[in-house]
């Protein structure tokens, strides 16, 4: 039998709270350290202990990081989900299970391979404490997988030594459990399997990190000094990352005091209120939330849009509406975020696809908020935010300066003859602002959500109100030129595919699949709203554009139609919203089906 290297999907079925996350994480990290591209996915319940949880690792020498349908190896450690877990294994795949209790006959499949290891029985003589027995079972199956898949054992033991540095008492039992598992696999199971890993250089200099951690670190680099937040899955780790990194990187060397304020508040209304109050007073500030939080923040977002106050809001999207599936991913907040609040409001949105982009957009969002004097929302999702992803390493140019936008200092005010907070001096729709307390005589103004004239004086004049709203529209046009441009690959095909955020992850694989069947497409990865000229031109220059996204209503498609007046017939939705992330198989299938149904020619002509 020929050996297949570095190309499989392994899924671990565990019980939430059983300590499996650490062992599963080590599995993925070991492969990553062997230079093999991996993508991890945590499928977890809204629960602390007891409900089923799955951890999936996609291993791909080709570097395909999106989700793939089918499971090649199932590590079935949860009796409750055994039936569905066994059923989900692809034909020819492997079932690793604990045969301390025999497998029910009804579960047996003759089209898969069984790998039976008496893990619980093996732990019995080793540990007297039942909690330890249970915990080290996870390490034992990791050891068995090392033997079965040919993972370099030194890599794993090295991680154990690093992880428990200073807690030497924990190193020995971990290593012992790893060895027990591996030795059993080697002695009794004909290891290694025909499905194996081997050292590669396909990872390059990439790092492995989750998007939320990258966002928190980026906010530190971007100069955020105030973070106010309210816990909500899947966004919580953005704020936690900011605090953790700040506690190391933002401590005054002489006094030990903090160069940041980190405040967990009573709800999302307070979180956005603190952010707006801090930004009004000249501090870079941000919050992190998910869809329900955006709903609660909406009144304040309208105020900040109209009163023109910077704010950065991370929306780590989850399945909605309402509380929906709070621990599953979705791209469902586009419309709600883009037009959040009452009256004529709209807000710039950024769509990161990788942890590197989370880091970069964290910095850029703070710059854009200050420059445009308006809330900027970064729409990530659970898939990117809470899973370890391969990413290009973070970069920083030490000559980079924060763009604090149009702010007048006391000295500036001395030189300015006329100061009007909402005067469009430069013709870009953006006025000059002052921080409170700047000057004894000049520059003070009153901020309000009610209408006011160019000098911030209250007015109910319809003409003045309308003039102001038109200036905000001009500012929106300025924003179009400042937000991140779409990434476009234009080879002159007549059909294109447009996508954003984590829908980018399975796209290279989907495009390869489609190309094999004669379907070739140009690509446009949208990175921001409002849409720049490039997006408009991309749509205009293609006969048909598939819009791939992860929600029911095709929200990006609706935004494009609404904002660019695109002919709806030209934009074909490719949709997935069943809680997991969209897979290459889904994209391939839906586009292929469209080609079949509409009898489109398979090899599109290349115009050069």
Partner 1 sequence: MTFVAKPRVHHPKLPVNEIGLTRRDYEGSVSTLCAGCGHDSVSAAIVQACAELSLPPHRFAKVSGIGCSSKTPSYFLNKSHGFNSVHGRMPSVMTGSNLANRDLIGVGVSGDGDSASIGFGQFAHIVRRSINMLYLVDNNGTYGLTKGQFSATNDKGSTSKKGVPNLYEPIDLVSSALQIGASFVARSFSGDKKQLVPLIKAALMHKGMAFIDVISPCVAFNNHSGSTKSYEFVRDHIHNVMDADLIMTHDEVTADYAEGTREDVSMPDGSTLQLYKVDADYDPYDRVGALNYVQRMQEKGEVVTGLLYVNPDAVECHDIMDTVSRPLNELTEADLCPGSDTLAALNQRYR
Binding to partner 1 (CB under 8 A) within 173-232 occurs at 207-209, 217, 220-221, 223, 225-226, 228
CA–CA separation, 83 vs 87, rounded Å?
A: 6
The 309-348 contact track toward partner 1, x by CB under 8 A, reads: ----------------------------------------
C-alpha of 306 from chain center: 29
**Residue 435 interacts with partner 1 (CB under 8 A): yes or no:** yes
**Residue 403 interacts with partner 1 (CB under 8 A): yes or no:** no
**Residue 261 interacts with partner 1 (CB under 8 A): yes or no:** yes
Q: What are phi and psi of 7, to 5 degrees?
A: -150, 90
Using the minimum distance from each CB to partner 1, give the nearer residue, 123 or 272. 272
Using the minimum distance from each CB to partner 1, give the nearer residue, 101 or 400. 400
**Residue 282 interacts with partner 1 (CB under 8 A): yes or no:** yes
Tokens at residue 382, please? Answer: 């659970």
Tokens at residue 606, please? Answer: 């290349």
Calculate the alpha carbon distances from 113 to 93, 95, 96 in Å: 6, 6, 9
**Residue 63 interacts with partner 1 (CB under 8 A): yes or no:** no
Using the minimum distance from each CB to partner 1, give the nearer residue, 256 or 427. 256
Given candidates 46, 190, 281, 466, which one binds partner 1 under the rule CB under 8 A? 281
Tokens at residue 410, please? Answer: 């006391």
Q: Name the residue among 154, 149, 233, 158 with its Cα closest to residue 191.
A: 149
Tokens at residue 570, please? Answer: 């030209």
Q: Name the residue among 48, 14, 45, 9 with its Cα closest to residue 28.
A: 9
**Residue 275 interacts with partner 1 (CB under 8 A): yes or no:** yes
Given candidates 229, 300, 314, 577, which one binds partner 1 under the rule CB under 8 A? 300
**Residue 162 interacts with partner 1 (CB under 8 A): yes or no:** no
Closest CB 318 distance from partner 1, rounded Å: 24
**Residue 165 interacts with partner 1 (CB under 8 A): yes or no:** no
**Which residues on adjacent β-strands are paired with residue 513?**
none
Calculate the alpha carbon distances from 12 to 28, 44, 142, 576 in Å: 11, 12, 11, 23
DSSP 258: B
Given candidates 164, 394, 455, 595, which one binds partner 1 under the rule CB under 8 A? 394
**Residue 447 interacts with partner 1 (CB under 8 A): yes or no:** yes
**Residue 395 interacts with partner 1 (CB under 8 A): yes or no:** yes
Using the minimum distance from each CB to partner 1, give the nearer residue, 52 or 292. 292
CA–CA separation, 251 vs 233, rounded Å?
A: 28
Using the minimum distance from each CB to partner 1, give the nearer residue, 276 or 547. 276
Q: Is the peptide bond between 530 and the residue preceding it cis, with omega within 30 degrees of 0?
A: yes
Closest CB 477 distance from partner 1, rounded Å: 28
Binding window for partner 1 (CB under 8 A); candidates: 119-127, 273-281, 479-487, 534-542: 273-281
CA–CA separation, 365 vs 349, rounded Å?
A: 9
Contact 547, 574 (CB under 8 A): yes
Using the minimum distance from each CB to partner 1, give the nearer residue, 137 or 433. 433
**Residue 250 interacts with partner 1 (CB under 8 A): yes or no:** yes
Contact 46, 233 (CB under 8 A): yes
Q: What are phi and psi of 251, to 5 degrees?
A: -105, 130
**Residue 465 interacts with partner 1 (CB under 8 A): yes or no:** no
- Characterize 132-151 residue by residue with b for buried, 16 or more Cβ atoms within 10 angstroms of its Cβ, and e for exposed: ebbbbbbbbbbbbbbbbbbb
Per rule CB under 8 A, count of chain residues that contact partner 1: 72
Using the minimum distance from each CB to partner 1, give the nearer residue, 427 or 462. 462
CA–CA separation, 18 vs 14, rounded Å?
A: 7
Binding window for partner 1 (CB under 8 A); candidates: 167-175, 266-274, 461-469, 578-586: 266-274
Task: Enumerate residues 352-381 that contact partner 1 by CB under 8 A.
Answer: none
Task: Enumerate residues 67-96 that contact partner 1 by CB under 8 A.
Answer: none
Task: Enumerate residues 16-35 that contact partner 1 by CB under 8 A.
Answer: 32-33
Binding window for partner 1 (CB under 8 A); candidates: 40-48, 313-321, 437-445, 485-493: 437-445
Closest CB 383 distance from partner 1, rounded Å: 18
Using the minimum distance from each CB to partner 1, give the nearer residue, 116 or 410. 410
CA–CA separation, 46 vs 262, rounded Å?
A: 26
**Residue 154 interacts with partner 1 (CB under 8 A): yes or no:** no
Tokens at residue 354, please? Answer: 């990788």
Residue 451 CB neighbour total at 10 angstroms: 16
Closest CB 200 distance from partner 1, rounded Å: 15
DSSP 394: P
């Amino acid at each position: 039998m020929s050996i297949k290297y570095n190309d499989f999907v392994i899924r671990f079925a565990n019980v939430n709270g059983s300590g499996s996350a650490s062992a599963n994480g080590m599995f993925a990290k070991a492969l990553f350290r062997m230079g093999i591209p991996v993508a991890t996915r945590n499928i977890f319940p809204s629960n602390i202990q007891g409900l089923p949880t799955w951890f999936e690792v996609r291993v791909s020498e080709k570097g395909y990081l999106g989700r793939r349908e089918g499971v090649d190896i199932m590590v079935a450690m949860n009796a409750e989900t055994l039936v569905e877990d066994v059923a989900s294994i692809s034909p020819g795949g492997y079932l690793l299970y604990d045969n301390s209790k025999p497998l029910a006959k009804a579960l047996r499949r003759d089209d898969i391979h069984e790998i039976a290891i008496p893990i619980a029985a093996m732990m019995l003589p080793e540990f007297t404490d039942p909690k330890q027995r249970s915990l080290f079972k996870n390490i034992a199956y990791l050891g068995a997988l090392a033997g079965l898949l040919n993972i370099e054992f030194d890599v794993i033991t090295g991680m154990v030594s690093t992880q428990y540095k200073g807690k030497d008492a924990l190193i020995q039992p971990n290593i012992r459990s790893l060895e027990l598992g591996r030795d059993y696999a080697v002695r009794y199971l004909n290891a290694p399997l025909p499905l194996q890993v081997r050292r590669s250089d396909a990872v390059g200099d990439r790092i492995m990190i989750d998007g939320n951690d990258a966002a928190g670190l980026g906010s530190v680099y971007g100069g955020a000094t105030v973070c106010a937040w309210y816990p909500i899955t899947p966004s919580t780790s953005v704020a936690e990352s900011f605090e953790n990194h700040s506690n190391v990187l933002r401590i005054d060397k002489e006094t030990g005091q903090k160069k940041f304020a980190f405040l967990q508040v009573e709800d999302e209304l307070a979180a956005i209120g603190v952010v707006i109050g801090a930004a009004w007073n000249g501090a870079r500030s941000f919050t992190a939330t998910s869809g329900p939080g955006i709903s609660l923040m909406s009144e304040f977002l309208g105020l900040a849009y109209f009163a023109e106050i910077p704010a950065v809001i991370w929306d780590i999207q989850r399945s909605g509406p309402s509380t929906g599936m709070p621990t599953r991913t979705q791209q469902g907040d586009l419309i709600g975020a883009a037009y959040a609040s009452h009256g004529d409001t709209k807000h710039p949105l950024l769509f990161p696809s990788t942890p590197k982009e989370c880091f970069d957009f964290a910095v850029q969002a703070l710059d854009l908020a200050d420059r445009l004097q308006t809330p900027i929302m970064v729409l990530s999702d659970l898939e990117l935010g809470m899973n370890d992803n391969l990413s290009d390493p973070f970069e920083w140019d030490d000559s980079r300066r924060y763009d604090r936008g149009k702010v007048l200092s006391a000295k500036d005010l001395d030189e300015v003859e006329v100061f009007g907070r909402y005067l469009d001096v430069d013709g870009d729709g953006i006025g000059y602002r002052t921080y409170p307390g700047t000057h004894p005589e000049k520059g003070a103004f009153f901020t309000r959500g009610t209408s006011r004239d160019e000098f911030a004086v209250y007015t109910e004049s319809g003409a003045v109100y309308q003039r102001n709203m038109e200036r905000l529209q001009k500012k929106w046009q300025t924003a179009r030129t400042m937000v991140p441009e779409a990434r476009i690959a234009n080879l002159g095909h007549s059909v294109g595919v447009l996508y954003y955020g984590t829908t980018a992850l399975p796209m290279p694989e989907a495009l390869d699949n489609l190309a094999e069947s004669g379907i070739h497409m140009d690509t446009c990865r949208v990175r921001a709203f409002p849409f720049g000229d490039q997006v408009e031109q991309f749509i205009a220059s293609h006969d048909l554009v598939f819009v791939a996204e992860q929600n029911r209503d095709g929200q990006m498609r609706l935004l494009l139609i609404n904002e660019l007046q695109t002919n709806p017939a030209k934009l074909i939705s490719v949709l997935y919203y069943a809680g997991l992330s969209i897979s290459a198989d889904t994209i391939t299938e839906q586009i292929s089906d469209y080609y079949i149904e509409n009898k489109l020619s398979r090899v599109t002509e290349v115009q050069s």
